[in-house]
Chain A
Amino acid sequence: MRGFRIVVAAHGELADAFVSAATLICGVLHDIHAVGLRPDDSPESFSDRLAEVVAGDEPILILTDLVGGTPHNVALILARRLPAATVISGVNLAVLVEAATSTDALDAATVDRLVALGRSALSDSSSLAASRGP
């Protein structure tokens, strides 16, 4: 049982697609939400939708796609008013799956671990394969 909620905030359909892909891997997931930035969104309209989902006092992990993008900037602004919210940016599927299946508390150690895992999930796989030979 996970001890925190998860929200993926990303550009376009990516947020929904991340959740759908994580569900494909993990099976049914609870307390995972997607909020996508639409082409006609203003930062304010996006912020309103995200605020609705992240409201509350429970621990919540907000995963955003691109550092500096509107989902990231808005998430940081909202998280300021949410003592139990944490924002990680540059989400990839490995991070989302790990977070979704985590049973740890959302503390600094968990966040460090997720970020390290996300970094190591990005790999130059062709070079690795080549270095191992045929």
Chain B
Amino acid sequence: MALKLVRVDDRLIHGQVVAIWLKALGANRIVIVDDKTARDDFLREILELAAPPGVPVEVHDLATGTERVRELASDPQPVFVIMRSPVTALRMREAGVEFPLLNVGGIGAGPGRKPLYRNISASPEELEAMRQLEAMGTRVELRIVESDRPVMFASVNV
């Protein structure tokens, strides 16, 4: 299993990801699955600049990303997969990409979004996606940085 972690974080690559998670996971490649970023050359460039030297960043839309992650799952190199929303994770899971755990590390608040835990909020659609992932056998944890105690989505009253 070379998918070291599949994470939901609406900032994609940022300080916590670069300084804490990459090192903790020992991952040497970041794969971002996000339609919006994949369409925007400039955003893609920023994310490539955001990773430390020697850690390549791939940015894919959902369709290409699903195939790429499927391929990387059976490759020995340790990979860190990041997306903005649990809905993306659900689509990948429905397409048959298996991962035992989804880490939810940051989804900002906003209109129509319900606070879940610390800096993590979710829309009704995202809550439903997390429920469905759990039903399909992917555990969903809420954990911002590696040293935090994981809080299981299933244990949070929403």
Smallest beta-carbon distance B115→chain A, Å: 11
Can you report 30 A-B residue pairs in the complex whose CB atoms are below 8 A from each other? A11-B15, A40-B119, A42-B10, A42-B11, A42-B108, A42-B109, A43-B10, A43-B14, A43-B108, A44-B108, A66-B18, A66-B19, A67-B49, A67-B50, A68-B13, A68-B15, A68-B17, A68-B18, A69-B14, A69-B15, A69-B18, A69-B50, A70-B14, A70-B15, A73-B14, A73-B47, A76-B46, A77-B42, A77-B43, A80-B42
Binary contact readout A1-21 vs B (1 if CB under 8 angstroms, 0 otherwise): 000000000010000000000
Q: CA A79 – CA B93 in complex, angstroms?
A: 38
The 3 closest A-B pairs by CB, nearest first: A69-B15, A68-B50, A68-B18
Q: Is the CB of A72 within 8 A of B11?
A: no
How long is the Cα–Cα vector from A16 to B69 in the complex, in angstroms? 41
Residue count of chain A within 8 Å CB distance of chain B: 16
Q: Does B6 contact A (CB under 8 A)?
A: no
